[in-house]
Amino acid sequence: MLEQLVNGPSIGYLARGLAASSLRQEVISNNMANVNTPNFKRSEVRFEDMLAKELALDDGSGRMQVVRTHDRHLPIRPIGTARPIVEEDGQTTMRVDKNNVDIDIEMASLAKNQLYYNAMATELGSYISRLKGVITSTQG
């Protein structure tokens, strides 16, 4: 029972979200470090859209929608396959030296990613605190 709670889908989604955010931080930092490198092409991390498809939040997923008809029914656990992917943007050019890094866009992406990471870390900490409360509570 404890193993099911600790290895449940919530922790899996949050852990993968944190990993994606950490990878995105590295990619953005690399983009910013190469802002003046000729012929450098920026990269970005794709994750959230693939996670939405995995969770069947995307209308075009083709997956059967399962509805819980009673609170005591267990939800069907989806298979965790969405992983972050680093993609290079080779289609655009911002300057004459064929570099496509815009420092303003990268700074905004960095701030957005920091908020995303903090939200995921807070939610994971809250989940673990609730789990700890359930484990340590006594029945009276």
In this predicted model, what pLDDT tens digit does every residue of 41-64 receive, in sequence order?
999 999 988 888 877 665 554 555
Band of residue 2 on the pLDDT scale cut at 50, 70, 90: low
How high is the pLDDT of residue 24? 97
Contact 45, 16 (CB under 8 A): no
For the ranges 30-34, 87-91, 136-140, which has the lowest average pLDDT?
Answer: 136-140
Closest CA to 66 of 75, 57, 53: 75
Q: Where are the alpha helices (DSSP H) in the chain?
A: 2-6, 9-33, 48-54, 103-136
Contact 88, 41 (CB under 8 A): yes
How high is the pLDDT of residue 7? 66
Tokens 């866009």 correspond to 105
> What is the average pLDDT across 7-34?
90
